[in-house]
Structures are given as C-alpha cells and as structure tokens.
Structure 1
Amino acid sequence: MSTLARISDFAGRYFALLVVGGAVVAFFVPALAGITAYINVLLGVVMFGMGLTLSVEDFARVFRRPKDIGLGVAAQFTVMPLVAFALAVVFRLPPELAAGVILLGCCPGGTASNVITYLARGDVALSVSLTSVSTVLAPLFTPLLMLLLAGRWLPVDAGALFFSIVQVVLVPVVLGVLANTFLGGAVRRVRPALPLVSVVFIVVIVMGVVAASSENVLAVGPLVLLLVVLHNGFGLLFGYVLARLAGVGVAQRRAVSVEVGMQNSGLAAALATTYFGGVAALPGALFSVWHNISGPLLATYWSRRPVGDRSRPWLDV
C-alpha cells in the first residue's frame, strides 16, 4: 500500500496540473462528452470517499463549539452565494452562465479545504466539522438559495435539486461515515488510496464538462476564469474578515476563510450539467483548477506566519 500511498500523494500535489491536462485533452476530443452521463455516479463515489474520512466525532463537535461552527456554516451559505449573485449582476451574465456561477456559490465546502487548512496552520478540527456540517445541510440550503438568487435568470426546480443532492452527496457521505464507524480496520487499509480515487474522478468529471462545452470554452472561458478568480478571492477575504469581526482566534479565522473560499466544485459541475447545461458547468470545472492553485499559495503564506505572531497586528493573517 506504500506505493499506492505515494501515487496518491503525487496526485494530490499535482491535482491542478492533472485537471488542466485532462481539460486540454477533452477540449480536442469532444467525444468525451459522453462522460457527463456518469457524472452523478462519479461524484457519488467521491463523496463516499469523503465520508470514509469522517467520523461521528466530526459532527458531534457542533455541540461543543457552536459559535465557531455556526459562524463558519453561516458564512459558507451567505458569502459565496451573495458574491456569486453580485458577480452575475455586475457582469450582466447570460442566464446559463449566471446560474452556473450562483450554483457554485451555493454549494458546500470542498474536502480540499481540510488539507489547505492544515498546511496553513489553521484549526483542522474546525475545518473538518465545517465541511461535514455544510455538506449535510447542502440538500436544504443549496436548492433554496438557488431558487432565491438564480430564479431571476431562469426557472429553478428546487425539489429536483434537493433529491439530486441527497442521492449524490448526502447518502454516499452517510454510508461512508457508517463504514468508517463500523468497519474502521478495513477503511484504514484503503484510506491511502482515497486521494487518488478523488483526484481521478474529479479530473474525469472536468473532462466530461469541458468536452460537452468545447464549442463555448474559447468564447466564455476567459470570462469564466475571471469570475472564478474573483469569486474565490472574495470568499477567502470575506470569510476571514467575518471570522475576525466575530472575535475568534487566528487559527479559526484561517479555517473559516479557507472553508468559505473553497467550494465543492465537483458538485457544482455535476448539478449544472444535469439542470442548467454545459456552459453552466464551466465555473465548477475551472474552480476545480483555480482553488487548487490559490489555496496552496495562501497556505504557503500563512505557514510562514505562525499563529500568535503579533509583529504585524494589522496583518494578522
């Protein structure tokens, strides 16, 4: 398993490059659009793998740290949706693209946030709990926020979104947590392979999205990339600012910032492909690349600034 662990580590380190490579291949091979028929299954496997890394303790922490977790979850489902809505209005986006950007903002945090928080010397336990709780709440909040924010551009079937998220997110995560709880020994043996499985499946999802939208990539790709960079940047910034205003510690601010700024882009791409079309899935696909660049860069900066260093109190990030 050590060899597999090394391969998984390699895939995790070079995830962004692998996604870019897959996207380039898919752009020149439109036939790969057939992958989109299996996106929900692929995402379900990824979410099951996420569940295998979680425990009941991660959810129970809500009752011991209600302030920190309540702050993070509230920021998750307000900052990114509202920033996405503002970007759609300011840039006067066409309906399909506006729906994709807003859907990305309404999704829960992504699992990569836990690794980035660790590298940034943030509160990893808080990050894991925030990912867990926001994922469980996604079937409720994601459809509701889409109905409220994206409804001005096109019809939103909140009920269908709810059931899709339950099927491809909630059920696999719960099954993963149960497996981790009752089959801990077996899960520990396969855990080194989980990062590799997640990376491969996310790359395949992105390839399907790009292949299905290859005709539109050149036309809207630069705009979508700009939107993704702004969305991610504002999420990281406002997440940190809100946590600071709430008076939590520096390690907790970093965790909230990363959790808010890094979305479950695979879920966004999958739901967009199913309900809003190929162009709507592009923000999620490009976000998969960008937040795996911005996250490590931010983590590198924070890792060089120990928590508690007050040499520059005006920049205690």
Structure 2
Amino acid sequence: MIGITITVLFALVMFSMGCTMKLIKIWAHVKRPWGIAVGFLCQFGIMPLSAFVLSLAFDILPLQAIAVVIMGCCPGGNASNIVAYWIDGDMDLSVGMTSCSTLFALGMMPLCLFLYTKMWVDANAIVIPYSTIGIALVALIVPVCVGSFVNHKWPKPARIIAMVGSGIGGILILVMAVIGGVLYKGAWDIEPKMWLVGTLFPLFGYFFGFVLAYIANQSWSRCRTVCLETGMQNTQLCTTILQLSFKPEQIVYMYTFPLVYSIFQVAFAVIIVGGYLLYKRYIKKKDPTENKVDSMDGEINPALELDSKPSNGDVFE
C-alpha cells in the first residue's frame, strides 16, 4: 500500500515537472541526443564501475558488495527531476535521461550485474523486477506527457503548477529519507567503511557526471542536469531487488546500504541546490547578453550566462 501511495504521489509530481517541458526542446534532444548519450555512459558505465571499485577498495563483505553493485546498476530516480528544477537544469534532458535510463535498464541491468557481481554470486540468483521497472516507466512518461500538453496549451497556469509541484516533490523526498532512517534505525549498526562507501558513492556520481558532461562540451545547464541524473539513483528499485533475491538472514547485511545511499544522495543534493541558489543571489553578475536567443528553441533565455559556455567548434550543442 505504501509503495502504491508513493508511486501515485511521484506521478503527480512528475505531472508538474512535465509542465516545464516543451515539445520543441524534446524534439531537439531526439534529433541530437548528445546529452542523453553522455547520461547513458554515466549511468551504465561510471556508476557500476564505481560501485565495483569501491567494493574492492574497502574490502567489504560479499553480500555488502552485491548491494553496492546493485545500487550502481539501477537507473536514475525521479528525485533528480525535482532537484534539477531547483537548479535551473535542462528539464527536458533531465526527464529524458530518467525515462531512457529506466527503459535501458531492462537490458543494461542484467548485463552490468553479470559483469560486476559474478565474483561474489551467480548473476542468475539476482531477480530483476521487470514489472516494477515497467510500472515506474509508465508512471513517469504518462504524467510528463500530460504535463507537457498542459504547458503547450496553458503556459501560465503550467508555471504555477510546476512551482507548487516541485515544492511538494522536495518535501516528499525529505520525508521519505527521514521515514527510512526512523523505520530502520536498528540497521544503522554497521561498519564505518560502509558509511564511507555510502558517502563516496553518490559523490562520485555527482562529480563524474558533471565532469563527463563538461568534457562532452555540454552547456552549464546540461552539466548540472547530468550531474544530478548520475548521482541520484533509484534506491527503491535497489531495495525491491534485494527483497526478491535474498533471504532475510542475508538481507540484514545488505538492506542498510540503500538507506545510507539515499540519505547521502539527498544531503548532497540539498548542498548543491543551496550553493546554486546562493550563487544566483549573491555572485551572479548581470550580463548584457542575457537576453540572447537560445539556439535550442528560439526563445529568450533570461539566464544564458548560466546555461551556455564558450566553445570552439561545439559539435555537441
């Protein structure tokens, strides 16, 4: 019942996020999917590899290592879309990356789990809930499409819906993190190195996501977006996989990690949002070019100095 409630609430929030999206921008990402391609590399390249390296570097127990790797192989979560709104990210790219990573997870998760868990467990023992992934995909795409239509027909009310929905979504993320910590407080008696892994792992995702997007010559807005999409994983899916794949006496060694990861990914996201808002308020300088036309959609971009960067022969934009 709780899972259904959370799915419905997030679907409503994603409807509000869809109210920030425009069909012309979505089509631009389809024609030139460089941002999505970078996100794919981060999601199914950097994250599983980081999970594997951290597990070996800290020499954690096999069951714990499996939990870490499963987390690294999961697609991005809806929370990244909400946070992307607050840092003026590319919402069309953010939702597109989440949708694509969830869709690609149907094939990439089995492949990544086979590659990175075979030294600890038979990959066939890990049950991937394809139905859960499918439901998550529908609960994401349908509300977003409806929200995009609302934005197309009634842009002014759509902006209000997006603002209210993003606030509710932010509160929902924080409440879920707190509830998870309170309900499973008995599981916090874990080794310090697991706390370190839970801290470093999302940090690696944020850092390498931003760096790879920068190297790929993406705009600042897209760099921020890819950063969030890489670091914020679908922790609920990881928890579901653990419950389906392992016995209760095994899960006691594994279940804590998704909670630790969830708390730290939210904590870092709050720091990113706070830092960005402070930057906008106190550091950002007015630029005479801020009313230039954004080449993506032909509209006035009031924050162009934050969302573009100089480049020579930019083949990605």
- What is the TM-score normalised by the length of structure 1? 0.69
- More off after superposition, 123-132 vs 171-180: 171-180
Count of residue pairs brought into register by the alignment: 268
| Preserved CA contact (<8 Å) 1:209 1:285 | no
Larger Rg: 2
Using the alignment, how far apart are the partners of 2:73 and 2:99 within structure 1? 15
Amino acid at match of 1:282: T
1:3-18 equivalences in 2 (<5 Å): none
Match of 1:270 among 233, 240, 247: 240
1:152 corresponds to 2:119 = yes
- In the other structure, the counterpart of 2:79 is 112
Residue 46 (structure 2) pairs with residue 79 (structure 1): yes
- How much is the aligned-residue C-alpha RMSD, in angstroms? 3.7
Determine the structure 1 residue equivalent to 2:188.
Answer: 217
Q: Of 90, 95, 104, which residue of structure 2 is paired with 1:128?
A: 95
Q: Does 1:92 align with 2:80?
A: no
Unaligned runs of 5+ in 2: 285-303, 311-317
Partner of 1:166: 133
Matching residue of 1:25: none
Deviation at 1:81, TM superposition (A): 1.0
SS at match of 2:254: helix
1:233 counterpart = 2:203: yes
After superposition, the C-alpha distances for 1:2-23 in whole angstroms (9 at most, x for unaligned) are xxxxxxxxxxxxxxxxxxxxxx
Corresponding residue to 1:245 among 196, 215, 224: 215
Q: Which amino acid aligns with 1:219?
A: I
Distance 1:293 1:72, change over 3 A: same
Contact 2:76/2:101, CA 8 A, preserved across alignment? yes
Distance 1:148 1:92 in 2: 18
TM-score by length of 2: 0.69
Contact preservation (8 Å) 2:99, 2:141: no
CA distance in 1, matches of 2:72, 2:140: 21
The residue type equivalent to 1:104 in the other structure is M
Please state how far the C-alpha of 1:155 moved relative to its aligned partner.
2.1
Q: Is the 8 A contact 2:80 2:228 kept in 1?
A: yes
Q: Which amino acid aligns with 1:243?
A: A
User: Greater relative contact order (Cα 8 A, min sep 6): structure 1 or 2?
Assistant: 1
Cross-structure match for 1:300: 274
Counterpart-to-counterpart distance in 2, 1:164 and 1:280: 23
Q: In the alignment, which residue of structure 2 is the partner of 1:254?
A: 224
Measured after TM superposition, the shift of residue 255 of structure 1 is 1.0
Tell me the residue number matched to 1:286.
260
Bigger shift: 104-113 or 48-57?
48-57
Residues 301 and 196 of structure 1, relative CA distance in 2, 3 Å threshold: closer
Deviations 1:117-171 (A, max 9, x none): 2332332322222122212222222232112111211122378405254355235
| Structure 1 residues 42 and 209: alpha-carbon distance in aligned structure 2, compared to 1, 3 A threshold | farther
Check 1:160–1:50 CA distance in 2 against 1; reply closer, same or farther (3 A cut).
farther
Unpaired runs of 5+ residues, structure 1, are 1-37
- In structure 2, what residue type is equivalent to 1:253? C
Distance 2:223 2:174 in 1: 31
- Give the CA deviation at 1:230: 0.4
Query: Which protein has the bigger helix share?
Result: 1
> Relative to structure 2, which stretch is displaced further, 200-209 or 245-254?
200-209
Counterpart AA for 2:137: L
SS at match of 1:279: coil
The question of whether the paired residues in 2 share the 8 Å contact of 1:265 and 1:288 is answered with: yes
Residues 39 and 274 of structure 1: CA distance in aligned 2, closer, same or farther (over 3 Å): farther
1:101 to 62, 68, 81: 68
2:169 aligned partner: 195
In 2, Cα distance between the equivalents of 1:281 and 1:176?
31
1:157 match: secondary structure: helix
Q: Specify whether residues 157 and 197 from structure 1 end up closer, same or farther in structure 2 by C-alpha distance, changes over 3 A only.
A: farther
Between the aligned partners of 2:217 and 2:101, the Cα distance in structure 1 is 21
